[in-house]
Chains A and B, each alone.
Chain A
Amino acid sequence: MSEIPGGAMAHRPVHFFWLLDCSGSMSINGKISILNFAVREAIPEMQRVAHENAAAQLMVRVITFSDGAQWHVHAPTPIDDFQWSDVTTSGITDLGAALRLVAGELETPPMPERALKPVLALVSDGQPTDDWRAGLRAVDSTPWGKRAVRVAIAIGQDADLPMLKEFLANPELEPLQAHNPTQLAGAIRWASTVAVRVASTPRSGAGAGPLPPPPASQDDDSADIW
């Protein structure tokens, strides 16, 4: 076979965005420590899922929000190179700022037309303190934001479930609720792997493919501490 004509070829990117609540309340009862542990532990699972579908190139970024929002990992980082550095807590819950920040990355450009659906994974334990709906509108107004595979994890009793459900933008989906470390680790693992698997499989048609059910650990009998 002769060399294929044409330009360079490459696997299709899947951009995964963690949106992590790092407000002061996340320091209570060790939530932030468990979150750091769970995300770090999920990396090998994400790598495994990415390797299952070599045609997709999983790229990870991280936004934290508290007083405003900032990039914790700004450069799209191939999952094989991704290393976790712990996030810390302070301040309030400016989710809207985080959503506006990610919205800027969901235009084309910088997203390539050929990308697979991005994943937006939101983790929060409280009530947003800024205009989060404006942020959500910013995401929804981007071509990739409205197509994104979205998952939401609610930590503890004080999490704003209606807000998280609105973020999901799908009446068939519910936020994953984590009331103890086991549930949080399971939810993070699920978001890291199932959502990636769904997003990284080319499938045409209207709408995102359904997400498989959440982890069984949601129903575990560990004591609720959050």
Chain B
Amino acid sequence: MSTDIARWQVLGGTARAARKSVNQDRHDWTVFADGADIAMAVADGHGSAAYPRSDAGAQFAVDAFLYTAAEFRAALEPDVPLAQVKVRAEEYFPRNLVHEWRERVGTDLAKNPLREAEQGLEATPVLYGTTLIGAMITGTLVLGWQIGDGDLCLVGADGQVSAPLRNPAETLGDETDSLCSDGAQHLVRTYWAPSPAIDPPALIALSTDGLSKSFVSFEGYQEFVSGVYQRIIHDSAGKVSEDLQGWLEQASSYSGDDTTLVAAWQGSPVNPGPEGRPR
């Protein structure tokens, strides 16, 4: 494993399904410590009549994730045992994430009572139902959290693509777990990969299900992720960014769904911080 500290670069985009008036996908990311650490998230609001505020719910999900990730990172003191960090990642993080999302939903509900078009529905978090996938990479950890469908893919240094949180049986037919589900914190799947036991990926990609479901096979989608990385390396990130919107619109025309991708890859290394390496 390289002793250099990776500098992460990020790109992202989204495309609204042609038949929909509102894109219910949201995405965002935070770059920490001059690119040495990142957090990124995508969310897919459910979009049907039972979830009329799912676009806001998706935004709250992304915001809640980035907030929770920043808090998690801030607590990563060097003397905290790895086993304790793992407990925080697998148990506390999902609980805090769901709490933060519900806080935002509650605030919005208080400010915006049920509208006429929402009569017949209850003023509960269900109105805001959404999935979420988030990832964080620090100098010592690669972490992922997912509730519901969508995909987290890793491209290894050898070019191999893996999807460690994939569980297709849970999301057939677009049925999916949700942040609005009862006991949502227990539905969050976690990916935990500390270094140096596991090398950081060359690229990590998060996407809503509208992207992978546009491909005939999941392997075809993994080829897409690999191809994005190859083009970043061999063409340029700028060229990929230019093309991304068209690719997502093309994918959306096949899946019929909103389609969103965020990808982060290792760029040039950064200098280690005064403590030897950034957190």
Q: A: which residues have CB within 8 A of B? A: 1-2, 4-12, 53-56, 108, 112-118, 143-144, 147, 200-207, 209-210
Asked if A6 contacts B253 (CB within 8 A), the reply is no
Q: Assuming A8-B215, A116-B174, is B46 touching A205 (CB within 8 A)?
A: yes
Asked if B169 contacts A143 (CB within 8 A), the reply is yes
Name the distance in Å between B76's Cβ and chain A's nearest Cβ: 33
Whether, in the assembled complex, B63 has its beta carbon less than 8 Å from a beta carbon of chain A, the answer is: no
Q: Which of B49, B227, B246 contacts A209 (CB 8 A)?
A: B49
Whether, in the assembled complex, B90 has its beta carbon less than 8 Å from a beta carbon of chain A, the answer is: no
Q: B: which residues have CB within 8 A of A? A: 17-19, 44, 46-51, 129, 131, 148-149, 168-169, 172-178, 181, 209-210, 212-228, 230-231, 235, 239, 242-243, 246-247, 250-257
Q: Assuming A7-B216, A9-B250, A204-B44, is B209 touching A2 (CB within 8 A)?
A: no
Q: Which residues of B contact A8 (CB under 8 A)?
A: 215-217, 220
Asked if B256 contacts A117 (CB within 8 A), the reply is no
Q: Which residues of B contact A200 (CB under 8 A)?
A: 256
Asked if B173 contacts A210 (CB within 8 A), the reply is no
Q: Which of A6, A53, A113, A204 contacts B19 (CB 8 A)?
A: A53
Q: Assuming A143-B172, A206-B175, is B221 touching A5 (CB within 8 A)?
A: no
Q: Assuming A203-B48, A205-B129, is B173 touching A9 (CB within 8 A)?
A: no
Q: Assuming A203-B46, A205-B129, is B251 touching A9 (CB within 8 A)?
A: yes
Contacts A/B (CB < 8 Å), 7 sampled: A5-B223, A6-B224, A11-B254, A55-B253, A56-B256, A113-B218, A205-B178
Q: Which of A1, A55, A113 contacts B172 (CB 8 A)?
A: A113
Asked if A7 contacts B219 (CB within 8 A), the reply is yes
Name the distance in Å between B133's Cβ and chain A's nearest Cβ: 13
Enumerate the 4 nearest inter-chain pairs by beta-carbon distance, A residue then B residue, closest first: A7-B220, A5-B227, A55-B256, A6-B224
Q: Which residues of A contact B181 (CB under 8 A)?
A: 206
Q: How far, in whole Å, are A206 and B174 apart by their CA atoms in the complex? A: 8
Q: Which of B174, B227, B235, B252 contacts A6 (CB 8 A)?
A: B227
Q: How far, in whole Å, are A15 and B253 apart by their CA atoms in the complex? A: 19
Asked if A202 contacts B247 (CB within 8 A), the reply is no
Q: Which residues of B contact A205 (CB under 8 A)?
A: 46-48, 50-51, 129, 174-176, 178
Q: How far, in whole Å, are A115 and B224 apart by their CA atoms in the complex? A: 20
Asked if B209 contacts A204 (CB within 8 A), the reply is yes
Name the distance in Å between A118's Cβ and chain B's nearest Cβ: 8
Q: Assuming A12-B254, A53-B19, A55-B256, is B148 touching A204 (CB within 8 A)?
A: yes
Q: How far, in whole Å, are A200 and B17 apart by their CA atoms in the complex? A: 13
Q: Which of B148, B221, B224, B256 contacts A202 (CB 8 A)?
A: B256
Q: Which residues of A contact B129 (CB under 8 A)?
A: 205
Asked if A53 contacts B49 (CB within 8 A), the reply is no
